[in-house]
Structure 1
């Protein structure tokens, strides 16, 4: 992800399921991410926004250039997932990792990096030689598979947070976010301990009468 190294190092939590194991743990989410990444990314981002209570920002603030770094109407999410589905999926991952404190494992980094390199090498080679259609099909299958793995891994984490509740973003991570995002989250009360009373996503208990 195109983020500062300090922010990457601040994320130290572990995923419930590694990306390589996600298809077996959540086959439905994996197939959904493989076959319909636009719809899957839209639904997942909507869940994240509802879960954290924050407004929609294009690509979750990954590209905070001018108005793209400011809150927009949530309807703009349709354009994001349709025009830039890969970036939209990465933005969902950025939100999961920064809001819920999750770091990439070496296996995750290897899968994502190898896929990007393979696609880039094919694009460069296509400028000089005729690339066999079989390699194009292989690249498409690889990208779809990795997208499905990412979506499934992230969905597992979101479901886990819904089950146990969210206590707010860790202060160590928040201080490394862009200033505009820090200000936005402070306005909606997502600065660590301040979010504790409302434990977003946790089941509510009815008070006992004496």
Structure 2
């Protein structure tokens, strides 16, 4: 999955407004909200990405799992809020990744090589741990360390995405304001 996404946005003209490593100190409010209440932050963020219209909601933004989308289609039309909550609680990492892809597609944003590296590392690490846990018990300390890595990483992703939404909305408001004022001056 991360490989196809990387190729898809490789030529995108835009970059994220802040670097992934800067989110914790440049947008501390977003970072701590995503760190201490990630499901709430993700629900709010996806709703913002959809323009507040959850009628447009599809499971994982239609980006991750096609069978899941076809299976949940009838449910989504009846209760999109409930389906989004279920997606976030059951498939949190996929949900954050789908929101990221949706933003990248909407604003033509590409990841840095380091962001791609982090995504691939998280993907590989999850499978390595899963496979090793079949054969060996994973020590509690290692499991806790991996959980901390994921919490920090996905808080950075969520806060970077939230900041990008703020920046893009501010640009849009500024553009509309300038457009309105230029119309007044021409009269």
The answer, yes or no, to whether TM exceeds 0.5 is yes
Aligned to 1:81: 88
**Mean CA deviation greater in 7-16 or 133-142:** 7-16
Shift of 1:11: 2.3
Higher RCO structure (Cα 8 Å, ≥6 apart): 2
CA RMSD of aligned residues (A): 3.0
Q: For residues 46-195 of structure 1, what are the structure 2 equivalents within 5 Å?
A: 46-50=47-51, 55-63=56-64, 65=66, 68=69, 72-73=76-77, 74-75=80-81, 76-165=83-172
Aligned to 1:16: 17
Q: Distance in 1 between matches of 2:11 and 2:55?
A: 21
Aligned with 1:159: secondary structure? helix
* Structure 1 unaligned residues grouped into runs of 5+: 166-198
| Structure 1 length-normalised TM | 0.73
Q: Distance in 2 between matches of 1:151 and 1:144?
A: 10
Q: Distance in 1 between matches of 2:87 and 2:54?
A: 20
Following superposition, which runs of at least 4 residues in structure 1 exceed 6 angstroms of deviation?
51-54
Q: For residues 1-12 of structure 1, what are the structure 2 equivalents within 5 Å?
A: 1=1, 3=4, 7-12=8-13
* Structure 2 unaligned residues grouped into runs of 5+: none
**Change beyond 3 A, Cα 1:66–1:114:** closer
Aligned to 2:184: 208
Aligned with 2:21: secondary structure? coil
How many residues align structurally? 177
Shift of 1:19: 0.8
**Change beyond 3 A, Cα 1:117–1:66:** closer
Q: Distance in 2 between matches of 1:45 and 1:201?
A: 24
1:51·1:200 contact (CA, 8 Å) conserved in 2?
A: no
Per-residue displacement from partner, 1:110-134 (whole Å, max 9, x unpaired)?
2222223223222211111222100
Is 1:33 the counterpart of 2:49? The answer is no
Q: Distance in 1 between matches of 2:118 and 2:93?
A: 15
1:22·1:30 contact (CA, 8 Å) conserved in 2?
A: yes
Q: Distance in 1 between matches of 2:12 and 2:55?
A: 20
**Change beyond 3 A, Cα 1:201–1:48:** farther
Aligned with 1:127: secondary structure? helix
- Structure with the largest fraction of helix: 2
